[in-house]
Amino acid sequence: MTLSSVGDTSTYIVKYMPLMGRAGLTRVILHLAGANYKNEFISMEQIAADKSMAPFGHLPVLVETRPDGTAFELAEAIAIEHYLAEKFGLLGSTPQDAALYKSVALNIYFELYLPCFASPIPIQDQIADKASDFNTKMLPHFIKTHEGWLNKNGNNGHYFGNELSYPDLAMLNWARLLEGLGVTLDESSPIRKLVATVAAMDEWKGEYDNFHPFKSIEA
């Protein structure tokens, strides 16, 4: 397990709404790494009224303050995740590792984001309709593809090697989201093995349930 903030003396602010949403995986990485971070809640109304609050006019935004007082501001959820994943040892040890790990995590995101959040048909309706393209084409292909990757690594609960990596956390996030929407994976699915493996990590410090994708966060 390489995820650690040992030696990292920066502090972090995650600017987003009081829910997990697109900042969920950022918060998970920071929490598991034991990083010193806090949330700054900004409503949709606030950002709509003053888009200068964020580099591109939308959230989430990460602000890192280094020990010398200099600040680094980064927008776009995936860019933030990639930055933190590299910083906390979740992208392997070579440029080739990093590229491969990102490709798997990006595939998880790109395959699921559009049907879940950008389709004119609500995802709940797609899941309820057994004949939908989501149930007959997209989801079976997605599951087969990623179970293949996990089986290639020995079905040990990780995508690569025996340690946590960025794609593990990406799959955890989306598997929990799909489960919350009503998708049920086979008991023997390697994806379920991954979820169970990552959920059992001590680094959650008993707060695993607080990082569910549908979780609201108290101010």
What pLDDT score was predicted for residue 1? 46
3 state DSSP class of 67? coil
For 46-72, write each residue's pLDDT tens digit.
Answer: 999 999 999 999 999 999 999 999 999
**Which residues lie below 8 Å from residue 160, measured CB to CB, with a gap of 6+?**
92, 97, 100, 101, 153, 167
- Predicted pLDDT at 8: 84
pLDDT of residue 6: 63
State how far the Cα of 204 lies from the Cα of 32, in Å rounded to an integer.
6
Given pLDDT bands bounded at 50, 70 and 90, which one contains residue 2? low
- The mean pLDDT of 117-130, rounded to a whole number, is 94
Query: Domain spans of the chain?
Result: 11-88, 95-203
> What is the per-residue pLDDT for 4?
63
CA–CA distance, 26 with 62 (Å, rounded to integer): 9
Distance CA 32, CA 219 (A): 21
pLDDT at 7: 74
- Burial, 13: exposed, middle or buried (Cβ in 10 Å; 0-12, 13-18, 19+)? middle
Q: What is the pTM of this model?
A: 0.95
Residue 13: phi and psi, rounded to 5, are -125, 130
Q: With 70 as the cut, is the pLDDT of residue 121 above it?
A: yes
Among the listed residues 29, 12, 35, the one whose alpha carbon sits nearest the alpha carbon of residue 172: 29
CATH 3.40.30.10 applies to domain 11-88: yes
Sign of the CA dihedral 177, 181, 187, 188?
A: negative
User: What dotted CATH number matches 95-203?
Assistant: 1.20.1050
Q: How far apart are CA 20 and CA 130, in angstroms?
A: 29
Mean pLDDT, residues 194-203: 98
